[in-house]
Structure formats: C-alpha cells, structure tokens
Amino acid sequence: MSRDSTASLPAGLGRRDFLAAASVGLSGGLAGCAGVFATEGNNVNIAGSSTVFPVTEAIASSFSERNPTVNLSLSKTGTGGGFGNFFCAGRTDINNASRAIADAEIEQCGNNGITPIEFQVATDALTVVANPNADWIDCLTVEQLREIWRADGATHWSDINGEWPDEPFELYGAATTSGTFDYFNEAIIGEEENHRSDYHATERDRTIVQGVQGSEYAMGYFGFSYYSENPDSIKAISVDDGDGCVEPSIETAMNGEYTPLSRPLFIYVAKESLEKEAVRDFVRFYMKRAATDLVSEVGYVPITEEKRDENIEKLETAIAEVTA
Amino acid sequence: MAADTGETPADGFGRVSRTKDVAFRLLALAATLIGIVSLAALLLNVAVDAVGWLDWQFLTNPPHPDPYEAGFLPALVGSIAIMLMIALVTFPLGVGAAVYLEEYADDGYLTRFIQLNIANLAGVPSVVYGLLGLGLFVGLFNIGYGTVLAAAFTIALLILPIVIISAQEAIRAVPDSQRQASYGMGATKWQTIRNVVLPRAMPGIMTGTILALGRAIGETAPLIMIAAPTTVFGLPNSFFSKVSAMPLQIYNWASYPQTEFQYGVVAAGVVTLLVVLLTINSIAIVIRNRYQQRT
C-alpha cells in the first residue's frame, strides 16, 4: 500500500513536469514564430468578385513563391459584397471587381476615408449557355435575351419563338451580390426593366453548370473562363447585337466584336493601403503580370501593353503621393 | 405421445426461431457491413483519385488556379496553427471547469443547471457557434475577421463542452478511496487534486481533449461564419493574420471549373486532412496506452 502511494507520486511529478514543459514549449514556440515572422504591415487582404478571383489567385500564387513571408488572403464575396462589407469598411486593401465602382460605393468609401484607385486587369466575355441537347438555339438577339431574363417576361421557350418547344425555362444566373449579375443586368436588361427574380441565383458558377447540364430546357450565364473549361458539357450561345451572331471567345472579346457582353475586369486598390510595403509590392507585381499569358491561361483576355503602362504610371503617381 | 407432443411444438417453435435467428443475424451483419463497406469504398475512391496529385509539391506550394501547380501549404499550416491555439485555450479552461464541477461544486440546483447546459451546448450546431464567434470576437472584441485568434477562439468554444464532459468523466473515475487516503495524510484539497486526482485522470483528460481537437480540425461552418478568407498565400505571420483551414480550401476547390480540381486536387486535400486527423487520433491512443501501463 505505502509502496504504491509513494510510487505514484514521482510518476505524477514527472507527468506534471512534462505537461508544464510541453505547454511552455508550445506557447514559447508560437510566440517565437510570431516574433520571427511578425513584421508590421506584412499582410495583403483581398475580397470581391468571384469572376476576377482566378486572375488574382494566379498572380498571388506566383507572387507568394517569390515573397513567402507575405501573408496574402483572398475571399470570394461578389463585387458589391466586397465593396460594401470589406473594402469601403477599411477591412481589405484590394477589391476584385467585375464592374466599375458605383457612386454610392465611392461615397461609402469616402465616408471612411478610403480612396479607391481603379486598375483594369483583364477583359471577360460574359457567356450565355444552354444544354447541348437544346438543338433549337445557337444564337439569340439581345432583345430575345432581354425577354427571357426580364421580370414579367416570357416563361416558355415557345413565347420567344413559336417553333421552339412549349416548355418553361429553367434559369440559372448570378446572385445579386455578384458583379456578373450587375453587368448582365446593365448590358441586357437595361434601365427600364428589372432582372427577373424567379431564377436559381448563385455565387458558385459550378452550380450553374450542373443545373444547365441537368435539364434540356435550362439556360444560364457566367464568366467566359467557366465555359472555356467545360466546352463539351454545355453549349455557348452566340449573341446578335444587330451585326449578326458572334460567338464568345478570347478573340472576339479582344477585338471588340462580342458586344454587349464583353466587359472589363478591375481591381480597386485603397490609396491609403499603398503605405504598406507589401501592398505596394503586390500591386506593382500585379500590374506587370496582367498583360501576360497568366491571364489568358485562366480564360480571360489580357490587357494591352499600353493599358499596362498607363496602369503602372497611375500606380507610381499614387505611391509617390502616399509615401511623400 | 409424450415425445410427440413434446417434439411437434418444440420442432415448430424451434424452426421458426431458427429462421428468425439467422435472419436477424444476417440483418445485423448487413447493417454493420453497409457502414464499413461504404467507408472503405469512400476511402478507396478518394485514395485512388489522389494518386498522382498528392506529392511533395502539393504539400509545399501555395494555391494556384492551375490544378497541376495548386498547393496546400497555407491551409495545412493554418489548420495546425489554429489547432495549437485551440489546445492552449481549451485545455486549461476545460480541465478547470471539470475540476470545479467534480471537486468543488456542491450538488445544488445551480450545479445541476450548469451541468445540464454544458451537456446541451455539446449538441449545438457548429454554425451557431460561428455566429457567436462573429458577434463576440469579430464584432465586440474586434480582433479582426478571419484571423488565427478569431478562428481558434470560436472553435475552442465549440469543443469546450466536449472537453469538459470527458475531463469530468476522467476525474469521476478516480476512486474516492484515494482522495480519502490523501486527506487522511493531512493533505489539503488543492494538494489532493494536484497530487492524486489530476495525475490519475490525466490520460482520460488527454484522450478526450485530443479527440475533441480531431473534431475541431474538420470544422468548416464556423470558419465561414467568421469570414475566414477563401484562399491564403504565405504562412500566418502573427496571431492577427488571416488564416484558411484545410476543409475550407477543399470546399473552395470543389467549386472550381476544371475536373482536375473536382477529382484529383480535392482528393489529395481530403487524403491530407484524413492523414492529419488520423495522426492526431493515434497520438491520443499512444498517450492513453502509455499512461495506462504506468498507473
């Protein structure tokens, strides 16, 4: 009995010592790591459009390989969600945007002392898609698209063209927080009408692909890069803006034939964030890379070299103002 | 006659019974097999998909839109950093609460009320904890959305009830005679807890905590709620840097357009997550076995 109890004591002591040592070691290690890597302002926070996401991801990835100590975070929030909840609230340094910033958003940013600077980084061709078995459509005019997507418009395919099947549409589109929604709304629906609200709205392009694959009478729209990755499972519809049918492609977007659905993609940088060295380095790197193959590899049209030089000049002016 | 009357019902009874017996046995076996077979099929499927994708480059690269260049490093390190923080937070809090409830608190209505609440908290869905974390840590304490600290505190709250309950059970399992013996030798309550109860309960407490950490590593919903970023490049460089975790990165990859992502890269991520999880669980088993052999 007595042997037992005395034997358990040193064992208990050893365990406690081990535990104490382990916890001291753990917290010390954590603090040590934090101390070694913590350099003030070594973070770059980005939110915004899921359409611009792949471009920024590609550039951030190659930036990160060269600057592994910079902590870069990237979120998909939609253009409007990114401006409203993160960028103009001072929570992020950069916002990805698939449309130009709105006046209300500029005002919101201004109230919080944030000056957005716009840089065009690529061009996208917004793509309307249908099920490959829907053999009756290859091309739609802008009016027909408006009729399909406007509120209180057509409900059946036969409403658009009497020869088409008498079946209701199944519509998949971008969510209202998305810049893709805003752009489609502006380019196709116009100011007099509203975008319909009885469709499947999502920020996840994959959901649209799955929906359109699943039904012969379905239709959807999203950025070109998503279509270019799935050209066999869904069919892109050519758009007729009065000059005949033009199919969406990198070439037709670049030479300006694919109207009205080709659109510029932007990043907005908070001028105040350019005080941080990491943000400066990243945006400089971004501007140089935006005119290269990195952009076409993810399915967008790179900007021209003149545009790139213009961007770099704009950036350097802003940096000079902030750091002066 | 006697044999006849005895045999017929026994025979009939026996026949019916045997068929039912066999049938039930097969049914139970099938129920067991469905679980095991589907788990095996899932693991096999994921493992086969991950072949050729799970390599050194995958583990050491940052994420990339090209599936052949995509890497998992920031999410892997992020998950481990969150885990370490969670362990540092939950262990003292969980053990402290358990010691109080088992050793100090009297068996009054208040104690029973607290006990009941802890048991209920263990069953609250993780999204709700995410909301709590968003309101409390991100909103009120303002430690930044999606940071290492916010993520760790939120998930720590989530697993705290589990840690408390398992620690309580471990403490309860320490025989009362040992406490009495300690008091009998003139030890105070604190000395008894420190020298007798905790050392004896430690293997149980450790096992419970580590298993709870295993649950924590797979949590996604609370991280989404506190707006943890979709993708992170570079390693976390302070407690306030934004952090991504493995399940979040896997969820994000699953929505990429390329089929290489949907199968290969996601599978490689899942296998990495499972390996980390199984490693943690086996550490728990090793610790438990070592302490059990000693005591």
Tell me if A43 and B237 make a contact (CB, 8 A cut-off). yes
Tell me if B88 and A27 make a contact (CB, 8 A cut-off). yes
Residue A125: name the closest of A238, A240, A304, A261 by CA. A261
**Mean per-residue pLDDT, A86-108:** 88
pLDDT in tens, A293-317: 788 777 777 887 888 888 888 888 8
SS3 A31: helix
CA–CA gap between residue B124 and residue B159 (Å, rounded): 10
- For B182, the closest chain A residue by CA position comes to A5
Among B61, B64, B196, whose Cβ lies nearest the Cβ of A57? B64
ipTM of model: 0.72
Rounded percentage of chain B residues whose pLDDT exceeds 90 = 18
Residue B267: name the closest of B38, B55, B80, B36 by CA. B55
SS3 A222: strand
Tell me if B195 and A43 make a contact (CB, 8 A cut-off). no
Other beta carbons within 10 Å of B33: 11
SS3 A223: coil
**Number of domain units in chain B:** 1
SS3 A69: coil
**Mean per-residue pLDDT, B277-286:** 85
pLDDT at A17 over 90: no
Q: Which of A39-43, B60-64, B234-238 has the lowest mean pLDDT?
A: A39-43
Alpha helices in chain A (DSSP H): 2-37, 53-66, 79-81, 103-111, 142-149, 157-160, 179-184, 205-214, 224-229, 250-254, 277-289, 293-297, 305-323
pLDDT at B15 over 80: no
Torsion sign (Cα): B161, B163, B169, B172: negative
Among A65, A74, A225, whose Cβ lies nearest the Cβ of B231? A74
pLDDT at A5 over 80: no
User: What count of Cα atoms within 13 Å lies in the side-chain half-sphere of residue B124?
Assistant: 20
Residue A30: name the closest of B37, B276, B238 by CA. B238
Mutual angle of helices B126-133 and B148-172, in 10-degree steps: 130
Who wins on pLDDT, A38 or A219? Answer: A219
**Mean per-residue pLDDT, A255-268:** 84
* Domain that residue B161 falls in: 76-243
A11: confidence class by pLDDT, cuts 50, 70, 90 = very low
Residue B249: name the closest of B79, B15, B69 by CA. B79
The rounded mean pLDDT for chain A is 81
Tell me if B65 and A298 make a contact (CB, 8 A cut-off). yes
The domains found in chain A, sorted by start residue, are: 43-123+263-323 (3.40.190.10), 127-260 (3.40.190.10)
Tell me if A26 and B63 make a contact (CB, 8 A cut-off). no
**Mean per-residue pLDDT, A147-157:** 87
Tell me if A204 and B255 make a contact (CB, 8 A cut-off). yes
In a domain, B18, yes or no: no
In a domain, B184, yes or no: yes
Alpha carbon distances (Å) from A131 to A161, A213, B147, B188: 18, 6, 42, 78
| A152 min Cα distance to partner chain B (Å) | 32
Q: What is the pTM of this model?
A: 0.73
In a domain, B92, yes or no: yes
pLDDT in tens, B219-266: 888 888 887 888 888 787 777 888 888 888 888 888 877 777 878 888
| A73 min Cα distance to partner chain B (Å) | 4
- Set of chain B residues whose Cβ sits within 8 Å of the Cβ of A294: none
Tell me if B235 and A38 make a contact (CB, 8 A cut-off). no
| B34 min Cα distance to partner chain A (Å) | 29
A22: confidence class by pLDDT, cuts 50, 70, 90 = low
Tell me if A71 and B236 make a contact (CB, 8 A cut-off). yes
CA–CA gap between residue A183 and residue B84 (Å, rounded): 44
In a domain, B91, yes or no: yes
The rounded mean pLDDT for chain B is 84
CATH number of the domain that residue B201 is part of: 1.10.3720.10
What is the helix (H) or strand (E) element at residue A118, kind and residue range? Answer: strand A116-125
User: What count of Cα atoms within 13 Å lies in the side-chain half-sphere of residue B149?
Assistant: 14
B93: confidence class by pLDDT, cuts 50, 70, 90 = very high
In a domain, B175, yes or no: yes
**Residue A166 is which amino acid?**
D
Largest Cα separation within chain A, whole Å, is 100
Among A11, A30, A57, whose Cβ lies nearest the Cβ of B63? A57
User: What count of Cα atoms within 13 Å lies in the side-chain half-sphere of residue B79?
Assistant: 26
